Amino acid sequence: MVKSSILYPHSSFLNLPDLWDLYVGPVSTFSINTTVQPTPIPSSSLIPPPSLYYPSFPTGQQVPLQSKNESWSFPSTFWYGVAGASYQIEGAVKAEGRGPSIWDVLSHRVPDYVITNETGDVADNNYYQYKEDIARIAALGIKTYSFSLSWSRILPFGKGPVNEQALLHYDDLIDTCLSYGVTPMVTLYHWDLPLFLQNTYGGWLSEDIVADYTEYARIVFTRWSSKVHYWFTVNEPIVFCGFYPLPENYFKATSVPKKQQPYSCGHNVLLAHSAAYRLGKSINDSLSISFKNNGGYKIQRTDSAADAEAVQRAWDFNEGWFANPTFINGDYPSNLKTYVETFLTPFTQDQKAQINGSCDIFAHDAYTSDFIMAPDSGIAACVSNSSNALYPGCYNTTKLYANNYWAMGPASDPGSPWLYKATDWVPAFLHYMQDTWKPKGGVAITEFGMSEPYEELRTDLASILIDPLRSAYYRDYLSAILIALSEGVNVVGTLAWSIYDNMEWSQGYSVKFGIQFVNLTTQERFFKASAFEYVNMFNVYQDK
């Protein structure tokens, strides 16, 4: 157990157990609480469902012919894998010296922040069962595993004392990947900010975080740069900066106005990401280092000039927020800059130079698309009215075509209302990313997936494992990538979200994205049909 006498802002001197007891409280544990070796995977669990491969018996089923398109192919260098994130899957939140993160507080202390009142205390028990998890994806034929590190496991206070037990754990996780021929991809930060940093200076709202994050990056790059080639600095800053302002009375108060907090966060993220990028390259210049953007294709809903302007504003306030500085000029896109320059200190020329060019690939968590249109009151009226609900972006979104009748595609689970199956727009989206930001290392879809509607309500295993919408999503999405590849877009890889059902943040375990089902009572894992659909597309189309 790591202990420290670092001065904590709300008390006198606290060690790590005090920090847990005072700000989080009791946590749950699971019966498997030591690292376990994988058990042999039954061959029966690796038999694909009949919709993909037809068994010799029984016979008689008739299905439409689905022939291979001989003009499509994934290059032999194209990587495909699955992804997970530390707080969502690891569990063991208080074990072996891990310090609390803001999500331990949000899930334990803030009423209804997680609608199911569930926590990540146990999650998928990946901290102890990671060997089994890696063995299972390898048996399926998946050659890439993307996971995030728990910052507060490695540095329980976010800075200061290093927890050697955590480093040894991730040593073995990485070595286990390599022993199975699985390429590890590592994300430094996937939303689980060390609580101590939030309560010391406001977390991402303070530029103080840049130095602490960079030191954290130095520790992990130094430790694993010889074994891990692909790195992602931060996951979806648009989302985690949008968590601000955090619920009042559970964290240190801040003087940053609420409306400005997401953009103050984003400013510091760009500085921290780019500092980590430059540091990583100085340690090993062959590394691939990027951050993971997120959003979706912005579809102009009508041919009006107002809707065209709204589309550009939507790009500027979403992907462009972080992509323009890193891929184009070190600074914000024009519509966003007009807003933030009223309260943010502009980047210096040195900072712009540090930020510009600080991504090797365009990594995008690209799940869906949106129709974009101007606000009913008009863009000019919105921009001049800070009380407008759409301010400061001043664009509107919908999933319905302009007739307000047809949706762009099937809806996902009601717990993820932002997600519809919009795979028809994937080729256009991939072209847009390549043409707009011109990434030197190509485009990677670093998360994509579908929450099967009402999967939580299914009680028998057989009905859980057949996930037709998710299976169709992966088949059609990968077909769309094949179209884009055939048209010259340099797409280099995909990561399916997720390796298995997990703690989906504020939705708890009620929304399922996994290509594996996890029985949370026994921690048994089972492949779903979508896992085979995903892998089969590469079995059919990837060049050998």
Query: Which residue in 90, 309, 447, 456 is the catalytic one?
Result: 447
CB 120 within 8 A of CB 506: no
CA–CA dist 310, 315 (Å, integer): 9
Long-range contacts of 199-204 (CB under 8 A, 24+ apart): 199/8, 199/9, 199/10, 199/23, 199/251, 199/252, 200/8, 200/9, 200/252, 201/252, 202/252, 202/254, 202/256, 203/102, 203/265, 204/240, 204/241, 204/244, 204/264, 204/265, 204/268, 204/269
Is 70 annotated as catalytic? no
Q: Output phi, psi for 279, to 5 deg.
A: -65, -50
Is 236 annotated as catalytic? yes
Query: Which residue in 118, 132, 236, 504 is the catalytic one?
Result: 236
- Is the peptide bond preceding residue 64 cis, with omega within 30 degrees of 0? no
CB 4 within 8 A of CB 157: yes
- Tokens encoding 155: 């540095």
CB 123 within 8 A of CB 92: no
Strand 183-189 relative to strand 524-527: parallel, antiparallel, unpaired? unpaired
- Tokens encoding 278: 């430059």
Query: Is 310 strand, coil or helix?
Result: helix
Q: What element of type H or E holds 281?
A: helix 261-283
Question: Which residues form the catalytic set?
Answer: 236, 447
